Amino acid sequence: MNSANPSSLTGRHKAILIGGALIVLAGAAALVLLRPGSACQGVFEQTAPRLEANIELIKNKGGFAVSQEKVQELTDGAQKIGLHLKTCCSVLEGGTLNPEQFQQCVERASAYEKQIADVAQQVDVAATAQQQGNTAVVQQQISRISQTLHSAAGSVAAFGQQVAQLAPAAEARAPETRGESEAEPNDTKDSATALRINARVNGEIARTDDNDHYKFSPGRLVRDRVIARLENRSETLRPYLMLFGQDKAQLQEAYNGTPGADTELAFTAEPGRQYFLRVNPYGTTGAYTLSVTPQNAHDRFEPNDDPTRHAPTPITPGRSVDANILDTQDDDWYVLKAAPGSRVRLQLENRSATLRPSVIVYNAQRSSLHNPYDGTPGASLDFSFDSTPGATYFFKVTPYGTQGDYRLTLN
């Protein structure tokens, strides 16, 4: 986005803008397939008003048929649909998603937009019938509204599953043996050779004072673990990798003093950032192959690290959520939109031997209420707290200096 950057927005308007601006891409699908970059940018900035108008109509006229919680679910769903479609767009632009697959993304998003439009129309008909005292029509429309809302929620879930399978599969099809070569001179970061994600580039340290620099960007919407790997193609080179951030400051390094050995460097990549890799001579020479591979290590609910920039993941009583803390910088936010009773029980089942569980409970104003934790890696949590029926509560699962998988259940 240019003039409407989702990261600069908050709350409901952010959800509507992101979701709406992306969802109505179906009308420009052909243009996107021909010119993905420019078309995506243009649609992002032009298509918010229609979805926003429908949600406003539902909110203002449908209170007797659609609860505020359901309206919030629609806006949350719009944001998720938008993020999913933007992922499809990013993968298409990266050249690893074909037009037919992208069209499937467009159709999923278009279906959700139509379902919201249908709900708005049904609400309008029901409101008119209510004014006229036609209770039979009102009840008929309320039934249809319920069915359409259920279908809309299914569309969000189905699109999420599609993207979860589609993006990694598309990345996996990226040619790993293309045999691209470094472009000398690349002795400095300013002259760095561009390195495509999931591609392999062949390089060589020709002199003991030679440094080879590469630049790359994961291009993802969420933080993810990435592995940079140097495969030695000589019996002489002692591999030495250095990683630098977008500001060209050093972040990490990995080396092996054995001539002919391989080495790799694992790190968490921030979305949209550029990174630099340097292959150092380490006093030796030799040929190598370099690759950078995302691990798809994040859970399917990301991004939900910051409730001011991303919508917290809705959590439903009686259902479990399987997720993970990616690293020590990862926070997972959840929201219970209507407490079912006067007491809420939350269970965090540790599914790792590393995570030290910590959960912070907040009220609707995001003031901290409880902070149960266990300093034992691999431990689980099971606690209850007094609640107000119908009230909203937020839950933040924090890394506590560790990482690992978990299952969250609320009753």
The domain that holds 287 is classified in CATH as 2.60.120.380
Residue 166 domain-assigned (yes or no) = yes
Report the C-alpha gap between 174 and 167 in whole angstroms: 11
- Same domain for 120 and 87: yes
What lies within 8 Å, CB to CB, of 80 at 6+ separation is: 19, 156, 159, 160, 311
- Higher-scoring residue by pLDDT: 175, 372: 372
Instruction: Flag the least confident range among 79-93, 360-374, 385-399.
Output: 79-93
**Co-location of 280 and 318 in the same domain:** no
d(CA 69, CA 153): 13
Query: Which pLDDT belongs to residue 83?
Result: 72
- 352 within 8 A of 380, measured Cβ to Cβ: no
Shared domain check, 142 and 109: yes
CA dist 166 and 148 (Å) reads 26
Residue 81 lies in a domain: yes
Same domain for 268 and 347, yes or no, is no
- Do 289 and 371 fall within a single domain? no
Q: Is residue 272 assigned to a domain?
A: yes
Euclidean distance between CA atoms 34 and 36, whole angstroms: 6
For 30-44, 137-151, 346-360, 397-411, which range has the lowest pLDDT when averaged over its residues?
30-44
Which of 172, 199, 216 represents a domain boundary (last residue)? 172
Query: What's the CA gap between 63 and 65, in Å, rounded?
Result: 5
- Together in a domain, 323 and 386: yes
Please determine, for residue 28, whether its predicted confidence score (pLDDT) is greater than 70. Answer: no
Is residue 29 located within the same domain as residue 57? yes
- Dihedral over Cα of 179, 185, 186, 190: its sign: negative
87 within domain boundaries: yes
Q: Is residue 301 in a domain?
A: no
Chain centre distance of CA 400:
22
Least confident range from 35-49, 231-245, 304-318: namely 35-49
Distance CA 379, CA 373 (A): 9
Does residue 201 share a domain with residue 145?
Answer: no
Assigned domain for 303 exists: no
User: What pLDDT is stored for residue 220 in this prediction?
Assistant: 65
Asked whether residue 350 carries a pLDDT value surpassing 90, the answer given is yes
297 close to 225: Cβ distance less than 8 angstroms = yes
- Tell me: do 31 and 106 sit in the same domain: yes
> Which position has the higher pLDDT, 94 or 230?
230
Return the residue matching tokens 């429908």: 54
Tell me how far apart the alpha carbons of residues 27 and 25 are, in angstroms, rounded to a whole number: 5
Higher pLDDT, 264 or 103: 264
| Average pLDDT score over residue span 40-64 | 67
Higher local confidence (pLDDT), 161 or 314: 314
Cβ atoms of 355 and 325 closer than 8 Å: yes
**Whether the predicted pLDDT of 36 surpasses 70:** no
Last residue of a domain, one of 265, 294, 323: 294
More confident residue, 158 or 184: 158
Indicate if 206 and 247 belong to the same structural domain.
yes
- The answer to whether position 20 is within a domain reads yes
The pLDDT of residue 1 is above 50: no
Does residue 185 share a domain with residue 273? Answer: yes
Q: Residue 158: what pLDDT?
A: 79
Against a cut of 0.85, is the pTM above it? no
Buried-exposed string 265-285: b where 16+ CB fall within 10 A, e elsewhere: bebbbbbeebbbbbbbbbebb
Are both 55 and 163 inside the same structural domain? yes
* Number of domains forming the structure of the chain: 3
Domain that holds residue 222: 180-294
pLDDT reported for residue 59 = 86
Report the alpha-carbon distance of residue 323 to residue 161 in Å, rounded: 14
Domain end residue (candidates: 145, 172, 199): 172
Residue 341 neighbours by CB under 8 Å, 6+ apart: 387, 389
Q: What angle do CA 11, 16, 18 make, to 5 degrees?
A: 95
CB 53 within 8 A of CB 41: no
**49 belongs to a structural domain:** yes
Examine the pLDDT at 38 and tell me if it is beyond 60.
no
